[in-house]
Amino acid sequence: MTAVSRTLDQRFRYLYKPVVFIACLVPLLGCIGGILRSNRLASVPGFELGTDPVRWVLDTLGKTALNLLFLTLLISPLRQLSGDVQLLRLRRMLGLFVFSYALLHFLTYVGPFEAGSWTEIRKDLAKRPFTAMGFAALLLLLPLAVTSTDKMMRRLRGRWQRLHRLIYLIAPLTVLHYWKMLKHEYREPLVYGSILVALLAFRAWRRLRARAPAVTAAAASARAQRLTSRCGPPKARGKV
């Protein structure tokens, strides 16, 4: 390892990664502080949870999971545009935070929101598509979280990447879950939806372009062949 890449590696390990880690923890710590304070259990710093603390925490955890999910989707394009490979190493941590926040969001729904009433939860899942969509997204995140270790990456090899393409199903499910949950408010989900479309379009464009040189070469040679067979080389025609 060269001296330059070693300092980069160190800066990543001891600066970037811890900073992102702590930033990701802020919403959770704010919620915990807010709950303790609003229930007069401790006077600690935390979010102001307002009149409906349960709804506030539920929404904040869900929204954080959604935002972090979009950040993980942003990493690949950013890396491709900037060429900074280090970014890729943040993705796993962000992905695990997505799963953790989604799980806490689900637990807040099951516990404080629905007060652990399984009949209500079952009814919700069966009758209300937006609940089922959120739950499906959480279930699909589970295998991604489980296979996030180096060991699993090595063991799965090529299949790892294919498995992790599940994120392209999880992301639209999450946006739909958010959209359908809202009461006639569509602007914010529309923003998320548009960003998602842009992110996916960027990937599609990259793939097409990666394939493009081969395609044009083949097309060019085919056209050349067609031209030759139809007209033949000018000189040859002259001889006939």
Partner 1 sequence: MLIRRPSGVRPSQITSEALYLNRRTVLAELLAGGACAAVRAAHGAEQAPPAATLQYTRSTRYSIADAPNTYEEITNYNNFYEFGTDKTDPARHAGSLRTRPWSVTIGGEAEKTGSFDLEDILKPHALEERIYRLRCVEAWSMVIPWIGFPLGDLLKRFNPTSKAKFVEFTSLADPKQMPGLRSDVLPWPYMEGLRIDEAMHPLAFMVVGLYGRELPNQDGAPLRSMAPWKYGFKNGKSIVRIRFTEGQPRTSWNTASPSEYGFYANVNPAVDHPRWSQATERRLGGGFFASRQKTLMFNGYADEVAGLYQGMNLHRYY
Min dist. Cβ of residue 180 to partner 1 (A) = 8
Distances (CA, A) of 99 to 25, 105, 128, 196: 13, 10, 22, 18
Size of site (CB under 8 A) for partner 1: 29
Say how far apart CA 180 and CA 159 lie, in whole Å.
Answer: 33
Among 1, 2, 81, 127, binds partner 1 (CB under 8 A): 127
Q: How far is the CB of 143 from partner 1 (least distance, A)?
A: 29
114 is a site residue for partner 1 (CB under 8 A): yes
How is residue 11 written in tokens? 């800066």
Smallest gap from residue 138 Cβ to partner 1 (A): 19
As measured in angstroms, the least distance from the Cβ of 191 to partner 1 is 14
Residue 111: HSE in the Cβ half-sphere, 13 Å Cα cutoff: 9
Stretch that binds partner 1, among 60-68, 125-133, 170-178, 212-220 (CB under 8 A): 125-133
DSSP state of 165: T
Considering only residues 151 through 180, tell me which ones interact with partner 1, judged by CB under 8 A: 180
Residues 6+ apart with CB under 8 A from 58: 105, 108, 109, 112, 113
User: Going residue by residue from 54 to 83, which x/- string records binding to partner 1, judged by CB under 8 A?
Assistant: xx-x--------------------------
Query: 193-225 burial string, b = 16+ CB within 10 Å, else e?
Result: beebeebeebeeeeeeeeeeeeeeeeeeeeeee
At 217, the amino acid letter reads: A
The binding site for partner 1 (CB under 8 A) comprises 35, 38-40, 49-55, 57, 112-115, 117, 120, 123-124, 127-128, 130, 180-181, 183-185, 187
